[in-house]
Homo-oligomer: A and B are copies of this chain.
Amino acid sequence: MIRYTSSIEKLIESFMKLPGIGRKTAQRLAFHILEMPKEKAEEIAQSILDARNNIISCSVCGDLTDTDPCRICSAKDRDPSFICVVQEPGDIMAMERTRQYNGYYHVLHGVISPMDGIGPNDINLRTLLTRVSENDVKEVIIAVNPTVEGEATAMYISKLLNPFGVTVSRIAHGIPVGSDIEYADEVTLAKAIEGRRVI
């Protein structure tokens, strides 16, 4: 392939390391960086460095934060009876946006996936046990993604927490609001039927 000057090529390759960015998009981003004012480009680079230097894992929930414990773990106005277990840090904001949940969170940073060599010890599970055993938790809501690995992880956590006498629940799977039943996939529709509620 005909290549650009080395600095441009390196910048393109850097962008290609990011998810969902192929060579064409990376080129477009790289040229945009090269055409923008130098200070703006430096700001972008600096924000990457700052984020990597300032952001740590919350020692309580495992969320990415710049204070330890994180903003949510140190909030006093939340309901300590609930812990919502999510797969990735980004999922917390999705839950928060619903404004339907006022408990605490626990971030697994992955799910159990024997195919990829990820076992229970490779995800952030141990501190969850500590939190459940040491605090007055009534319900653990599992909100990992509805994949085979997610389901397996949910089952594993449920068994793990069994001795503590807490309720372990799983968020409902079903037809997304605003979508069309005609185009729903069978698995989702089956889950929706299975999870039907009396009205």
Contacts and interface: CB of A to CB of B under 8 A. Distances in A.
Find the residue from A8, A31, A48 having the highest chain B CB count within 10 A. Answer: A48
Contact of A42 (B29, B40, B52): B52
B7 A66 contact: yes
Contacts of A42: 48-49, 52
Interface size range on A against B: 35 or more
A50 interface: yes
B32 A19 contact: yes
Contact of A48 (B27, B28, B41): B41
Nearest to A28: B19
Interface stretch (A85-93, A119-127, A145-153): A85-93
B90 A31 contact: yes
A168 interface: no
Nearest to A37: B52
Interface centre among A7, A64, A89 (most CB of B within 10 A): A7
Interface string A1-12: 010111110110
B90 A27 contact: yes
Contacts of A5: 55, 64-67, 70-71
A8 B44 contact: no
A20 interface: yes
